């Protein structure tokens, strides 16, 4: 489990978990779950474009994630946010279908990008993932207070100079970077579960923002480490375990929240 070829899996998996915990905290806080689900699916065809052009997959993923961010932010100005997200997703998936139809040498890569292939991470992929992870975490730390103000009290944020449109665009850009980085590890279909499950559980267990963010990172790390270990032992896709533990952590968080509310309800009825 800790042999030489597994070192990359542990390093990259840990980086992805830390970033997913940080970004996922604000995904849950801002109610951006649909965007966190759509951007990975919209970015996924970018790998096909990169293959056709003969460049590194990560550049294609970043490019398509950026297109998704631009589409969502521009269309949201004249309509509802969820509609803009859906339209951007449909457009990118349509373009991806065209690109995928132009190559016949992509079946294994498609499987890996859909369901995750952390055990197959090469040494050359570690540096790009680490670089994108560092940028994503630095951006979250830099934007922590504005994002928090905008999510909890938009009016107070506006009064303190936090423009809702600008902070939304910046957050989507960070989410796109995290998506492009996490896709090859946990897959497009399950990257959002790594962001949503641990972060939702953390909000149920911890009330204060900064400790809740650290709690989300800790749960995300535990999820990824357990998923890698079990994928190595069972030879099952790592994405399955990420999705399973993400759902379990979310369920435990809901039980914790219910445990807090139920006594108050009984007291109110008494």
The domain defined by 4-269 folds into ABC transporter involved in vitamin B12 uptake, BtuC (1.10.3470)
Mean pLDDT computed over every residue of the chain:
79
Per-residue pLDDT tens for 27-38?
A: 888 887 777 777
> Which range in 6-20, 149-163, 211-225 is most confidently predicted, on average pLDDT?
211-225
CA distances from 195 to 25, 72, 145, 210, 250 (A): 7, 19, 20, 16, 11
Per-residue pLDDT tens for 142-169?
A: 988 888 888 877 777 777 777 777 888 8
pLDDT-based confidence at 112, cuts 50/70/90?
low
The number of C-alpha atoms within 13 Å of 25 and in the hemisphere containing its C-beta is 31
Query: If you search the block for the tokens 């099952």, which residue do you land on?
Result: 236
pLDDT(265) > 50: no
Q: What is the mean pLDDT of residues 65-92?
A: 76
Please state the domain extents for the chain: 4-269
What is the per-residue pLDDT for 123?
Answer: 76
- Count helices and strands in the chain by DSSP H and E runs: 13, 0
pLDDT(219) > 90: yes
Q: CB atoms < 10 A from the CB of 234, how many? A: 10
Q: What is the mean pLDDT of residues 84-105?
A: 73
């Amino acid at each position: 489990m800790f042999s030489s070829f597994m070192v990359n899996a542990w390093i990259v998996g840990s980086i992805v978990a830390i970033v997913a915990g940080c970004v996922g905290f604000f995904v849950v806080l801002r109610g951006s779950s649909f965007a966190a689900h759509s951007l990975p699916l919209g970015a996924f065809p970018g790998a096909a474009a990169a293959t056709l052009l003969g460049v590194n997959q990560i550049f294609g993923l970043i490019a398509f994630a950026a297109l998704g961010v631009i589409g969502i932010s521009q269309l949201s100005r004249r309509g509802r946010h969820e509609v803009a997200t859906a339209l951007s997703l449909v457009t990118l998936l349509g373009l991806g279908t065209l690109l995928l139809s132009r190559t016949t040498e992509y079946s294994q890569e498609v499987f890996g990008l859909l369901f995750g292939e952390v055990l197959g991470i090469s040494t050359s992929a570690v540096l790009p993932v680490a670089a994108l992870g560092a940028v994503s975490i630095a951006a979250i730390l830099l934007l922590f207070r504005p994002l928090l103000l905008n999510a909890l009290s938009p009016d107070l944020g506006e009064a303190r100079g936090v423009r809702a449109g600008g902070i939304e665009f910046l957050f989507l850009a960070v989410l796109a970077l995290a998506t492009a980085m996490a896709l090859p590890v946990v897959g497009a279909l399950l990257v959002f579960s790594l962001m949503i499950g641990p972060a939702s559980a953390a909000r149920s267990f911890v009330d204060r923002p900064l400790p809740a963010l650290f709690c989300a990172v800790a749960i995300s790390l535990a999820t990824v480490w357990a998923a890698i270990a079990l994928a190595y032992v069972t030879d099952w896709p790592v994405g399955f375990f990420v999705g399973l533990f993400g759902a379990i952590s979310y369920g435990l968080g809901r039980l914790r929240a219910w445990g807090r509310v139920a006594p108050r309800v009984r007291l109110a009825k008494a």
